[in-house]
Amino acid sequence: MAILRARDLMGTTVVTLPPDTPVRTIARLFADRGISAVAITDEAGALAGIVTESDLIRRLANEDDRPLAGWLVRLFDNPAAKADRYARSHGARARDVMSGNVVTVGPEETAAHVARLMEERRIRRVLVTEGGRLLGMVTRADLVRALLGPEEPAAHAATDETIRLELLRAMEREPWVDTTFIGVDVHDGVAAFHGFIGTPAVRQALRVLAENVPGVRRVEDNTRPFPRNMEV
């Protein structure tokens, strides 16, 4: 299967606004256009930041200026952090509420790398740039659509024996499969496992492994738990 890259996934229609755009205008744009993020660019078109729905919700939450509870919290509260919270909750322009530390990738980065960035940074979108120029945006929804992939080729092209051999190769690649105790037969595309399996987790993983082998139409689990005198 071809490796998907950011250029294959990204949407190229990204709304860009200048840093002095009023926050109310951005909120209205989100509501009217059904979008959840806008890129902020300077006069030269260079990326300066991003404003998302989360930034606006965080701004609203920060307006709840209740005193911090506990002397320990007050003792270690950073004045700079207080100032940043104030600017975000009272600022009227995009430059005040935007996230300036924008996560970007190049167009050739793989979908797997983009997904890892989103998980590690706990973000919902990544901007795609090249030479400082904004090309597009990859969202979590784009990654989910990528999971669908292209239509699978007709399964009848693979014989039962071809499928069985591919299953065995896949099993041998996985450290959690002990092919000494687990075997598989294939008949009319139905993969039937037999032998002994130690845990339900291995049984589930084996089913998933088989379902990812092209040509497998269904999986039958005829395995049994290890007898006490065979436990390993």
| Phi, psi dihedrals of residue 66, rounded to the nearest 5° | -80, 145
Q: Is the pLDDT of residue 69 over 70?
A: no
| Residues of each domain in the chain carrying CATH 3.10.580.10 | 6-148
Quick one: average pLDDT of 160-164?
A: 93
* Residue 68: per-residue pLDDT: 53
Instruction: Flag whether pLDDT at 154 surpasses 60.
Output: no
- Is residue 232 over pLDDT 90? no
Residues facing 221 on adjacent strands: 193
Distance between CA atoms of residues 174 and 182, nearest Å: 13
H helices of 20-176, where?
Answer: 23-33, 53-62, 71-76, 79-90, 94-97, 111-121, 140-148, 160-173
Q: Of the given ranges (61-65, 82-86, 218-222), which has the lowest mean pLDDT? A: 61-65
Statement: residue 155 has pLDDT above 50: no
| Predicted local distance difference test score (pLDDT) of residue 1 | 52
Kindly state which CATH superfamily the domain 6-148 is placed in: CBS-domain (3.10.580.10)
Residue 227, pLDDT > 90, answer no
CATH 3.30.1340.30 in the chain is located at 155-230
CA of 189: how far to CAs of 61, 65, 121, 202, 225, in Å?
55, 63, 41, 22, 25
- 3-state SS record for 86-105: HHHHHCCEHHHHCECCCCEE
- pLDDT for the residue 94: 93
Q: What is the mean pLDDT of the chain?
A: 85
In this prediction, residue 149 has a pLDDT band, given cuts at 50, 70 and 90, of low
Whether the per-residue pLDDT at 53 is higher than 50: the answer is yes
CATH 3.40.630.30 correct for 155-230 = no
Determine the average pLDDT of the residues in 98-116.
92
- The predicted structure's pLDDT at residue 119: 94
Say how far apart CA 65 and CA 50 lie, in whole Å: 25
Q: What tokens does 99 get?
A: 């996230």
Mean pLDDT of 153-175: 84
In this prediction, residues 192-206 reach a mean pLDDT of: 91
Q: Which of 86-90, 120-124, 159-163 has the lowest mean pLDDT?
A: 86-90
Range with the lowest mean pLDDT among 19-33, 62-76, 92-106, 185-199? Answer: 62-76
140-145 mean pLDDT? 89
Mean pLDDT for 141-162 is 74
